[in-house]
Chain A
Amino acid sequence: MREGYEVIYQKPKTLTDNKMHYCPGCIHGIMHKIFMEVVEEMDIQEKTVGVCPVGCSVFAYDYMDVDMQEAAHGRAAAVATAIKRMLPDRMVFSYQGDGDLAAIGTAETLHACNRGENFLFIFINNGIYGMTGGQMAPTTLNGQKTTTSPLGRDKKSMGSPLKMTEMVTPLDGVAFAARVSGNNPANVRKAKRIFRKALEIQQQNIGTQFVEVVSNCPSGWKCTPVESMDWIVEQSIPYYPLGIFKEPGK
């Protein structure tokens, strides 16, 4: 360190030093970092338990230095329910992608939300199956080209993208629902505040917390990381509006 200077930002100690396997520019890395910053700031590292999905973030347990459990494809909500019921004093979160939470795991997700299980869903929505090579997901936008919809998603035969946050918002069990993004520094800072709010609501034990992150996939979308952030602004956010949809007392 140079003389006369002080550290104002560094990697949180709750992230391990393992090199992340994510593609360059993936929002997964940003979300891992800010969520772990929140864990560090709230001093809950020792009592946080995470559930990893199947998908790109399957190795999240290598990077997040908290207790983690791997779940079968789509079943993270069921596993998180079990952990929270057995160990109610722990802070539990599931970290899932759109193929996991919105496709194969829709039933688990909706029923966990409907039962009001007290844990946090972190839903990373990049509109594509990134790990398997860029196939169409339930959240792929209308007209978006993927390897299994080479002419673009057709609303008539394939339906419209699922808006998970809007789906869970009316459920009684859900205490907090929000959608954030990681496309620019302002939105990343907002996302961090929302993660913190969600964990504070978990401490009050009043219902499920659901936070959707509008994410990117530079490899699957066939663009550079910087172009993918512009694409989020132009295409994703108009369909997936950001903001807090439900919070206690409002």
Chain B
Amino acid sequence: MPAKGYVEILVDTCKGCGLCVANCPTQCLALKQDDTNVFGYHYSYMSDPDKCIACMNCAVMCPDSVITVYKKKS
């Protein structure tokens, strides 16, 4: 079954604070441990895209507004 939603993260403005990861109810986000963005932060990415339920918690908590949330049209 395709995911209910997905998020797009602006890699180069993400500061890797991890608030999106901590507040994701389905643990579909993670910090990229083996890569960094241009500022040297371990940015956030969708580690398990199928689990996303488009709840927007990650985007609401993002201090740098780098997350855009998309939801499947019903």
Q: Given B6, B59, B63, which contacts A5 in the complex, CB threshold below 8 Å?
A: B6
Q: Are A5 and B5 in contact (CB under 8 A)?
A: yes
Cβ of B30 under 8 Å from chain A: no
Interface residues of A in 23-53 (CB under 8 A from B): 23-30, 33-34
Q: Given A2, A25, A34, which contacts B18 in the complex, CB threshold below 8 Å?
A: A25
Q: Are A8 and B57 in contact (CB under 8 A)?
A: no
Q: Given A7, A20, A28, A184, which contacts B69 in the complex, CB threshold below 8 Å?
A: A7
Interface range on chain B (Cβ under 8 Å from partner): 20 to 34
Closest Cβ–Cβ distance, residue A219 to chain B (whole Å): 11
Q: Are A8 and B5 in contact (CB under 8 A)?
A: yes
Q: Given A1, A8, A29, A226, which contacts B22 in the complex, CB threshold below 8 Å?
A: A226
Q: Are A24 and B54 in contact (CB under 8 A)?
A: no
Q: Are A1 and B17 in contact (CB under 8 A)?
A: no
Q: Are B63 and A22 in contact (CB under 8 A)?
A: yes
Q: Are B17 and A9 in contact (CB under 8 A)?
A: no
Identify the B interface with A (CB < 8 A). 5-6, 13, 15-19, 22-23, 41, 54, 56-57, 59-73
